[in-house]
Amino acid sequence: MTTATLERPRTETTTKTRTDIYTRVTSKIVEDLERGVRPWMKPWNAEFAGGRITRPLRHNGQAYKGINVLMLWASAEEQGLSCPYWLTFNQARELGGHVRKGEHGSPVVFASTFKKKDETDDGQEVESEIPFLKQYQVFNAEQCDGLPAHFTAPAEPPKETLQRIEQADAFFANTKADIRYGGNRAYYQITTDFVRMPPFETFRDAESHAATLAHELTHWTRHASRLNRELGRKVWGDQGYAAEELVAELGSAFLCADLSITPEVRDDHASYIDSWLKVLKQDKRAIFTAASHATKAVDFLHSLQPQPTA
């Protein structure tokens, strides 16, 4: 993209493209939720080198973030694709491969800005940067031929569940969050800044426990001493509450993918679907905002882990 294009886009086209992206993505997620399906609940695979569970990965192994995670998970689910790697048409060629004829790409977006000059009432010229979303297409490695072997090599056999969960337990411990066990509800209490979890033995399995804790620790990041996330929640069940629950839901899914944990389907999550639908139908940008906040929350939790020594 040239500098001129960034500074002087065609406003009508840019606005239409931006509106189409927000509307299309939100409409698809609303459609899934209305069928009782949470589109972020099947991000795992069992065949390729990325392992059983992962976020979508760029050709260089870098994980996608934000709304692109949901968009590519949904695209992979719809097309029956299991490989986590995604490439542009040119990246496939640069790696010695090619996209097979007849394959259709999946959209991803990135945030950019263009500069706009205005004149104030007193005749002063001011320049501002206007954010917008740019869309491009990527292809799954399964849609390509001739790529290096590691893109489609069979995954190693899954490690023992106990070892995976031990890794997750260590991750949670490294956050230094105040986690208290007891009672029959999982929640984060912001006024006294602690996470309440039911006893481990009451969960159906270790992965359900870990996924629930990932959800509550995403809430934990909203505290003023951490990310200071405030989405307008005033009382239980209002729109701000639903928006924060959506952030925690996505944060749990993202973190489970990072920790190789299968996200669990908690019975009480079904009661949230109506409230999420209300939020998404009122604001077509809500899912983008929630995915962005969830990414920041998970990145924050990762930042609390011991850093490798040089």
Give the pLDDT score at 154: 67
Please state whether beta strands 125-140 and 106-119 pair in parallel, antiparallel, or not at all (unpaired): antiparallel
Mark whether 125 and 40 lie in a shared domain: yes
Residue pLDDT, tens place only, 22-73: 888 888 888 888 877 777 765 444 455 444 557 899 999 999 999 999 899 8
Give the tens place of pLDDT for each residue, 98-145: 999 999 999 999 887 777 777 777 777 777 777 778 889 999 998 999
In the chain, the percentage of residues whose pLDDT exceeds 70 is 81
Alpha-carbon distances of 240 from 5, 89, 176, 193, rounded to whole Å: 37, 40, 27, 19
DSSP string covering 47-88, please? SBTT-SB---B-TTSPBP-THHHHHHHHHHHHHT----BEE-
Task: Pinpoint the alpha helices (H) of 196-238.
Answer: 206-220
191 in a domain, yes or no?
Answer: yes
Same domain for 43 and 135, yes or no, is: yes
Domain termination residue (choose one: 151, 174, 196): 151
More confident: 119 or 191: 191
CA distance 57 to 83: 9
Structural domains counted in the chain: 2
CA distances from 181 to 141, 187, 201, 261 (A): 43, 11, 11, 21
Query: What pLDDT sits at residue 30?
Result: 86
What is the model's pLDDT at position 47?
A: 53
Which runs of E-coded beta strand occur in the chain?
A: 86-87, 98-99, 106-119, 125-140, 144-145, 179-181, 187-189, 194-197
Q: What is the tens place of the pLDDT at every residue in 62-83?
A: 999 999 998 998 888 788 787 8
Does residue 144 sit in the same domain as residue 177? Answer: no
Domain boundary among 99, 120, 151: 151
User: Is the residue at 308 inside a domain?
Assistant: no
- For 279-295, what is the mean pLDDT? 92
Q: Are residues 52 and 126 in the same domain?
A: yes
Mean pLDDT of 254-276: 72
**Final residue belonging to a domain, choices 96, 117, 151:** 151
Confidence of residue 157 (pLDDT cuts 50, 70, 90): low
In this prediction, residue 294 carries a pLDDT of 95
Domain that includes residue 281, residue range: 161-303
Do 179 and 58 share a domain, yes or no? no
